[in-house]
Structure 1
């Protein structure tokens, strides 16, 4: 969950206004249902699908999908508009030579003094996901199948996927994205438990 950078292109005033729009933020944090809430679902395949659908509330949230685009162009905001200024992840996902992501995105989220941009997101691992890991615009069932496919998940086993979801510090950014940005539901611990329970019940996927 990160966004790469490329050479900035001139933007129209309309694009700048779009980027400046504040996000609508609900009162309080949305919670995830615990694994125990799914214990009564049978057969096990149906329970597995239900567990993944709940975890999917995090996976399909704009905080995550904004950084998993299909076109190497990160998105911004809950409306998922194309990043302003115009940037791309480049071959490494960290931006091309001359304008790395770190030109704007530091190791931690940086507060600003501007009225329209409360903070600039940051994380030590800030990067754009490879296009083969694109989630933006895809149904949850397709994302689920991607997560299980080593050719499209960075060569990870299901155990490694769970560890990534439950422990990775860039994934963790989604729960503490900074002032002015809506966090993903629940906690990383609860999310990791849902992913583990999904694996334990057979890692079944919703219908695409």
Structure 2
């Protein structure tokens, strides 16, 4: 083998052995971008901060109010027409969520915009209200089975990665910005956060 051939073989081997390049997708960093944080606890907290980029987006916060009234739009205005949480978080009798929200998004017949839809369509439970909370507060909340729908961390990861209503945040219909990243990246971040100890940010 000549020196040139050896050099090429060595270079190729180094390229093949190199880790995949980290990537930012639609404004959300992938777990690989945190690999250079040596301390696992520090990396875990940083991963949750990146998850919080999704959590604090209007697509999520609008359905996670701290009160009984959902919000809507990118400006997070009170829902119009006025509605209330009601039994089971599906609205009150005569004005349930399904009165206007069907199984899928429906474009307006006149003008731009759409009525969001998914089956089911509902508010998050009151104990899972996020509006106004810090990353540290939301992190503490979603780790607590009494405030996260009685989910284990593994179940929480499946919820973030696969649940259809969560996924609606990336397919919100005309007239709304989608949540950052993709649901797959959000699920990957959740798994990486769990794998590093599910550490919460300090503040």
Task: Check whether TM > 0.5.
Answer: yes
Instruction: Check the 8 A contact 1:74/1:83 in 2, yes or no.
Output: yes
Aligned to 2:165: 170
- Which of 91, 97, 100 is the matching residue for 1:101? 97
- By percentage of residues, which structure has more strand? 2
Structure with max Cα Rg: 2
Shift of 1:38: 0.6
Matched, 1:85 2:77: no
Structure 1 residue ranges, 4+ long, deviating more than 4 angstroms after superposition:
none
Normalising by structure 2, we get a TM-score of: 0.85
- By percentage of residues, which structure has more helix? 2
Matched, 1:161 2:153: no
Aligned to 1:74: 70
Q: Map residues 116-131 of structure 1 onto 2, 5 A cutoff.
A: 118-131=113-126
- Which of 42, 51, 54 is the matching residue for 2:50? 54
Aligned to 1:205: 200
State the Cα deviation string for residues 130-177 of structure 1 (Å, max 9, x = none). Answer: 111100111111001000000100100000000000000000000000
RMSD of aligned residue pairs (Cα, Å): 1.1
Aligned to 2:39: 43
Shift of 1:96: 1.6
Shift of 1:83: 0.7
Aligned to 2:26: 30
Q: Which runs of 5+ in 1 are unaligned?
A: 1-28
Considering Cα pairs closer than 8 Å and 6+ residues apart, tell me whether 1 or 2 has the greater RCO.
1
Normalising by structure 1, we get a TM-score of: 0.83
Quick one: distance in 2 between partners of 1:85 and 1:99? 10
